[in-house]
Structure 1
Amino acid sequence: MEAAIEVRRFDTPDDAIDMKEAGGISIVKMGDGTTGMRAVFEPGWTWEKDEKPLLGSPPTCPMRHTGYCITGNLVVRMVETNNETRITPGDFFEIPPGHDGYVDGSERVELILFAPPEDGH
């Protein structure tokens, strides 16, 4: 039996995180459990203000993110060391847990994020 090709779309997500005027995250799950996310953060978005409350207010973001930046400037800070990294269009990135972040500038940030099946979101 031939394996089937699976196609999913972010405009018909399985789940979504609505951050109102600050943006949102559309989440699709593939048959094998792999997760894809399209995150849009508007100018002025901060993890602390716009996403932390939706996650139950952990001290830092508890997730690992692997992804690609399409537009905008996102500054991600590792909270323990206060080390900041700027993520810009064209960057493929890996962010460990224990961070927060904010949109820098007047352009919206758009990211595509990937998570393997064993990584619960």
Structure 2
Amino acid sequence: MSDTRSIDAPNEVRPFKDHGHMDVVTLGDFTLGRGVFEPGWRWSEDVKPIAGTDSCMVHHTGFCLSGQMTVRFDDGRELSVGPGDVMDIDPGHDAWTTSDEPCVLLDTGVRGYAKPA
């Protein structure tokens, strides 16, 4: 079945503990999130209490629209994500906003992201 829905009218909005939210649109088997990670956002502070895991166990794939974020994997590797970057981020990481503006990401790996365990 063909369908459309505006990300500006999401099926659900998942608030983080502080510093932002995830707008989620689901069409059939496809889920897309628009994450708004405000300055000061850090996964280990803003999502960990919701997820209940030691690190983010979601596989993220998507695109950065604005702002910047650093991702630190459990093995110590780091990468930066910024405007125009296409990302493929494996599970097992922490992340935080590093820009003075919100980091806004489109992410296809959010079916269970920022939902209570």
TM range (shorter): 0.7 to 0.9
Unaligned runs of 5+ in 1: none
Which amino acid is the alignment partner of residue 114 of structure 1? T
Alignment of 1:7-86 (within 5 A): 7-19=4-16, 21-31=18-28, 33-55=29-51, 57-79=52-74, 81-86=75-80
Over aligned residues, Cα RMSD in angstroms? Answer: 1.6
Q: TM-score, normalised by structure 2?
A: 0.88
Which amino acid is the alignment partner of residue 7 of structure 1? T
Per-residue CA distance 1:75-112 (angstroms, 9 max, x = gap): 01111x11110001000010011011000131210000
CA contact (8 A) 2:61 2:107 kept: yes
Deviation at residue 9 of structure 1 after TM alignment: 1.6
Unaligned runs of 5+ in 2: 113-117
Aligned-residue sequence identity (percent) comes to 34
CA contact (8 A) 2:18 2:46 kept: no
Which amino acid is the alignment partner of residue 50 of structure 1? D
Aligned length, in residue pairs? 112
Q: What is the alpha-carbon distance in structure 1 between the residues aligned to residue 111 and residue 35 of structure 2?
A: 17
SS in 2 for 1:25: strand
Which amino acid is the alignment partner of residue 95 of structure 1? I
SS in 2 for 1:66: strand
What residue number does 1:89 align with? Answer: 83
